Chains A and B, each alone.
Chain A
Amino acid sequence: MQEAKETSVKISVEGLNAWFNTNQVLKDISMDIAEKRITAIIGPSGCGKSTFVRCLNRMHEVVPKARVTGRVLLDGEDIYSADVDPVDIRRRVGMVFQKPNPFPTMSVYDNVAAGLRLMGVRDRARLDRVVKKSLEMSALWDEVKGELNKSGASLSGGQQQRLCIARALAVEPEVILMDEPCSALDPIATAKIEDLIAELKKDYTVIIVTHNMQQAARVSDYTAFFFLGELIEYEATRELFESPADKRTEDYITGRFG
């Protein structure tokens, strides 16, 4: 298994197992995730790829009766150790969901500022600055700059998803997890988000779950193929798509199942 050698390791997963109730959905996953690179997680539905990224910011345990064992080292520190509060981890590891979920009762501005306000930032000038910067990074600023007081729910689907990305960026996380961020969007909105993801790797470590192999090939530096809760293959993206080592990987990327 090739490691991300030319850059430092941001997250190191060691022997990760996850369950829903008694149903094991992740089996002994170990992998290193490169800093300031884009890592794609692919695999057929039900393979555990969403659960995997949700284990990286301790969101898996939010589901009743969900359980995790193993270690996830963020900059060398185990996020599952007893003295770590998941709240702190989630601030450092941001997340964008499959379906856009802006807070419906908040304005565009308040949605983006929500995370900062949680951290106790009250300085209006600073909030203004961060909101503008985050919306610019998520390529939404030009479309909403005149209507920051509009409800977040009144935007189109693609705009809502970029608003959610801006919301995640505003707290300046170190890692951004994206769980099929384009699955509910049309091709034009998808293209915009993909451009945005490519931009993000300058500053952030991005992990993106996708069932769209073209998307993985387009945007990512590394790709991991999950199947039935196991990590089958993890390589530089180009290598994985051009010369898959495992038969199952090959079958999947050539469209034989999934």
Chain B
Amino acid sequence: MNSVQLKRKILNKVLDFLAAFSVVIALAPLISILYTVVMEGLPAINLAFLTQLPGPVGEEGGGFGNAIQGSFIVVGIASLIGLPIGILSGVYLAEYGNNRFGRMVSFTADVLTGVPSIITGIFAYILIVMRFGGFSALAGGVALATMMIPVIVRTTEESMRLVPDEIREASLALGIPPWKTSLRIVLSTAQFGIITGALLTIARVSGETAPLLFTAFSNRFYFDGVMNPVATLPVMIYTYALSPFEDWHTQAWGGALVLVSAILVLSIGVRFAAGRKYSGGM
């Protein structure tokens, strides 16, 4: 009897330890990644790296200036397409979506969030690149927008559904018509949640590489119009990482540091602000 009790207690301790150990195992790669990105990336970072064009193949120097610019442009195009469509679709679901069509839209959006990012690249390739005869910033933006829309739809819907009915009713009681109530009152009450969701989604797609490989493609020069290929940070990091040149590897780490910093600052900042807002409200 006593040995059974002892075994149970030892087993309990061992399992406690294993559970804690799995946390350590999961944190190890994260710490290693952040450490390596900072250590390998820092030496590459200087003003020239952030502003200049890539150097000619095989030569030292040059920078990722065009890729940083290009990332802003492609993500900007994606946001211009994705945010209005996503938010308005979310408005529809929150305000009128309790019917068969609404549920179908909702379910489809959910299923679309699981589409592998490379597939959105193929989609934009067929839709834009093949039709307009070449890689382009627009195609890259469309690919990323395809990833954004389903996420934005759902976060908008959820944020608007959190708005208490009293607010809606108060507005209607003032004689504000339902559509204006939806657009002005409900949407603006929910705007914090929607903006939070939008910024997190933007942070996520900024790091996407796969959808851009054969849409935005790459370019060794600065942005040259939406219908031309454009360099982006993730694609540039990928290309440089797989190159045979030591100097390019260093630059890839430099690009990684810029990208990771931007994404982490954005997503942690947004979460922090959201956390303060929500805990402040309670």
Direct contact of A and B (CB under 8 A): yes
Residue of B nearest to A85 (CB): B9
User: Is A87 an interface position by the 8 A CB rule?
Assistant: yes
- Digitize B1-35: 1 where CB-to-A-CB distance is under 8 Å, 0 elsewhere: 10011011100000000000000000000000000
Question: Nearest CB to that of B5 among chain A residues?
Answer: A88
Give the B-binding residues of A (Cβ under 8 A).
85, 87-88, 118-120
Q: How many A-B residue pairs have CB under 8 A?
A: 12
B9 touches A119 (CB 8 A): no
Task: State how many angstroms separate the Cβ of A223 from the closest Cβ of chain B.
Answer: 36
Tally of chain B residues near chain A (CB < 8 A): 6
Map CB proximity to A onto B142-176 as digits: 1 under 8 Å, 0 otherwise: 00000000000000000000000000000000000
The smallest beta-carbon distance between B185 and chain A, in angstroms, is 38
Complex CA–CA separation, A118 to B1 (angstroms): 11
Specify which chain A residues have a CB less than 8 angstroms from the CB of B4 in the assembled complex.
119-120
Using CB atoms, name the residue of chain B closest to A88.
B5
- Report Cα–Cα, A120/B7, bound state, in Å: 10
Write the nearest CB–CB distance from B167 to chain A, whole angstroms.
Answer: 33
Interface residues of B (CB under 8 A from A): 1, 4-5, 7-9
Question: In the assembly, what is the distance between CA of A138 and CA of B8, in Å?
Answer: 29
12 contacts between A and B (CB under 8 A): A85-B9, A87-B8, A87-B9, A88-B5, A118-B8, A119-B1, A119-B4, A119-B5, A120-B1, A120-B4, A120-B7, A120-B8
**Nearest opposing residue in chain A for B12, CB measure:** A87
Closest 5 A-B residue pairs measured CB to CB? Answer: A120-B4, A119-B4, A85-B9, A88-B5, A118-B8
Specify which chain B residues have a CB less than 8 angstroms from the CB of A87 in the assembled complex. 8-9
Residues on A with beta carbons closer than 8 Å to the beta carbon of B7: 120
The closest CB in chain A to the CB of B4 belongs to A120
* Complex: A20 Cα to B9 Cα, angstroms: 28
A118: chain B residues at CB < 8 Å are: 8
Contacts of A119 in B (CB 8 A): 1, 4-5
Q: How many Å lie between the Cα of A88 and that of B12 in the bound state?
A: 14
CA distance A119 to B6 in the complex (A): 11
Of all chain A residues, the one with the shortest Cβ separation from B7 is A120
Minimal beta-carbon separation of B198 from chain A (angstroms): 35
A8 to B157, CA, bound (A): 65
Tell me the nearest residue of chain B to A119, going by C-beta: B4
**Which A residues lie within 8 Å of B8 (CB)?**
87, 118, 120
A88 to B2, CA, bound (A): 11
Min CB distance A121 to B, Å, is 9
Q: How far does the alpha carbon of A104 sit from the alpha carbon of B7 in the complex, in Å?
A: 27
Give A174 Cβ to nearest chain B Cβ, in Å: 16
Task: For residue B4, give the distance in angstroms from its CB to the closest CB of chain A.
Answer: 4
Bound-complex Cα distance A88 to B6 (A): 11
Residues of B with C-beta under 8 A to A88: 5
| Complex CA distance for A87 and B5, rounded to whole angstroms | 9
New A-B pairs, 9, CB < 8 Å, besides A87-B8, A120-B1, A120-B7: A85-B9, A87-B9, A88-B5, A118-B8, A119-B1, A119-B4, A119-B5, A120-B4, A120-B8
A82 to chain B, nearest CB (A): 15
